[in-house]
Amino acid sequence: MWRKWRHITKLDPAREITDEDLRTVATSGTDALLIGGTLGVTRERVVDLLKRLRPYDIVKVQEPSNPANVVFEDIDYLFVPSIINSVDPRWMIGLHAEWIRGLMSKYGSLPWNKIQGEAYIVLNAKSAVGITTKAKTDLSIDEAVAYAVCADRYMHFPIVYLEYSGTYGNPELVEAVGRSISNAHLFYGGGIDSKEKARQMARHATIIVGNILYSDIEKYEQTLDYE
């Protein structure tokens, strides 16, 4: 199902959102809600947000930044990010192995039918995710393509995610990556706050829209007009 999505809305459990705006988002026509964030996210906040979303018939995905925050209730998918351009290998595989060991010890098995891996390429050095994960963000187009192809053809990730995290990215880079991968599905996130930006990036990737909904819900709604 997720390979057909064109527009995903990212909700940060650490950020405040009114019930009215949450209803607007959940009934907007976006294909799925991605529950995740980098700073201040706790399991309690994730659970609370998912409870508020129970009345809405929309696909819900958790994208955990910390193994301790993982929940399996009230979600349809778990998208687990690996920061493949981090200089710290824990963010590619180390934390994931710890998480699997802990959960298998607790539950005995995992719902693998819900779990998908994301190969994150973080491209904003000033972002919380870039700083936290020590990502090598100063990539040329050729370097970004090489990372993406490696994730696609060598590591067999189902998703490649270009993350500009609040900053609008380079459309030429996104287009080049989209042309270069053949099996993985491309996600793009960062700085989409208008119909024009949504349309530009949606030509090459499934777009992730998040920050703008917390400051201007009407501009968020304009990003749904991406075709």
For residue 147, the tally of other CB atoms under 10 A from its CB is 19
What's the domain range around 102? 2-222
For residue 157 the two structure tokens come to 């990730």
Asked if residue 69 belongs to a domain, the reply is yes
Amino acid at 84: I
Asked if residue 95 belongs to a domain, the reply is yes
SS3 89: helix
Q: Considering the entire predicted model, what is its pTM?
A: 0.94
Asked if residue 70 belongs to a domain, the reply is yes
Asked if residue 24 belongs to a domain, the reply is yes
For residue 160 the two structure tokens come to 């490649």
Asked if residue 78 belongs to a domain, the reply is yes
Asked if residue 135 belongs to a domain, the reply is yes
Total number of domains constituting the chain: 1
Q: Say which CATH number the domain at 141 has.
A: 3.20.20.390
Averaged confidence pLDDT in the chain:
94
Apex 88 CA angle, 178 and 126, nearest 5: 65
Task: State how far the Cα of 49 lies from the Cα of 144, in Å rounded to an integer.
Answer: 34
Task: State how far the Cα of 204 lies from the Cα of 198, in Å rounded to an integer.
Answer: 11
For residue 39 the two structure tokens come to 């700073």
Q: For residue 11, is pLDDT > 90? A: yes
Per-residue confidence (pLDDT) for residue 141, from 0 to 100: 98
122-148 average pLDDT score: 96
Q: For residue 51, is pLDDT > 90? A: yes
Task: State how far the Cα of 86 lies from the Cα of 106, in Å rounded to an integer.
Answer: 29
Asked if residue 227 belongs to a domain, the reply is no
Asked if residue 32 belongs to a domain, the reply is yes
